[in-house]
Amino acid sequence: MELITPDFGLIFWMLIGFGILFFLLAKFAWPIITKAIAERENYIQEQLDAAAKVKDEMKNLQSEHQLLLAVAKEERDKILADARKIVEKMNEDAKALRDKEHEARMAETKVIIHNEKMKAITDIKNEIAQLSIDIAEKILRDELTSKERQEQIVHKWVDELNLN
């Protein structure tokens, strides 16, 4: 047995042994192993991709959410502002109406007061006239109690008549 001359026996067994080893492994072991590894790698990659996608979607969803929230907020503000405006307007309108009514009522009242005043004044005038007549009657009655006086007045009136 020499160091650098190949032995026939070893070549023979090596060919057979390695051949069998290669055949068995290539038929029953390597395809299963490499396929399983590749499948798992694919699976992991798919899962990672899916996770990244979900993350992206979540991000989008979140931003969408925020956008929606912002829009809603804006809308709410707008609605609130509108409502305030409406309320203000309504208040103003109500005030205006009230004022108008008030004015109208005031005017009416004034007319009534005026009428009442006029009525009162007329009444007072009539009363005063009545009173004056009464007073004049009384005075006259007082005046004409005495005979001389009556004569005096008659004379006077006669004089006056004469003048006319």
Partner 1 sequence: MNYKNNTIKWSGIFFLFFLIFSSLNTNASGSETHESKKFEPGKFIIDHVIDSYGWHITTFKGHSISIPLPVILWDNGKLVTFSSSKFHHGNSAYKGYALGFTKETNGNIVKLKENVTGHFEKDPEMIAESSFYDISITKNVCSLFISISLLLGIFFSIAKSYKKRPISAPKGLQTLMEIVIVFIRDEVVIPSIGTAKYAKYLPYILTLFFFILINNLMGLIPIFPGGANVTGNIAVTGILALITLLITSFSGSKSYWKHIFNTPGVPWWLKLPIPIMPIVEAMGIFTKPFVLMVRLFANITAGHIIVIGFISLIFIFGEMSMGVGYALSPLSLIFYLFMGLLELIVAFIQAYLFTLLSSLYIGMAVEDHEAHEGHATHESDDTHPVLEPSVKNN
3-state secondary structure 88-148: HHHHHHHHHHHHHHHHHHHHHHHHHHHHHHHHHHHHHHHHHHHHHHHHHHHHHHHHCCCHH
* Stretch binding partner 1 (CB under 8 A), from 7-15, 113-121, 127-135, 136-144: 7-15
Place of tokens 């005038």: 125
Residue 54 · residue 62 · CB < 8 Å: no
* HSE-CB of 12 using CA atoms within 13 angstroms: 3
> In terms of Cα–Cα distance, which of 33, 14, 11 is closest to 22?
14
Q: How many residues form the binding site for partner 1 (CB under 8 A)? A: 35
* Stretch binding partner 1 (CB under 8 A), from 38-46, 92-100, 123-131, 136-144: 38-46
Least distance (Å) from partner 1 to the CB of residue 48? 14
Structure tokens given for 52: 């990244």
Determine if 45 is a binding residue for partner 1 (CB under 8 A): no
Least distance (Å) from partner 1 to the CB of residue 54? 20
Determine if 157 is a binding residue for partner 1 (CB under 8 A): no
Determine if 50 is a binding residue for partner 1 (CB under 8 A): no
Determine if 51 is a binding residue for partner 1 (CB under 8 A): no
Instruction: Give contact residues for partner 1 (rule: CB under 8 A).
Output: 1-15, 17-18, 20-22, 24-26, 28-34, 36-37, 39-40, 43
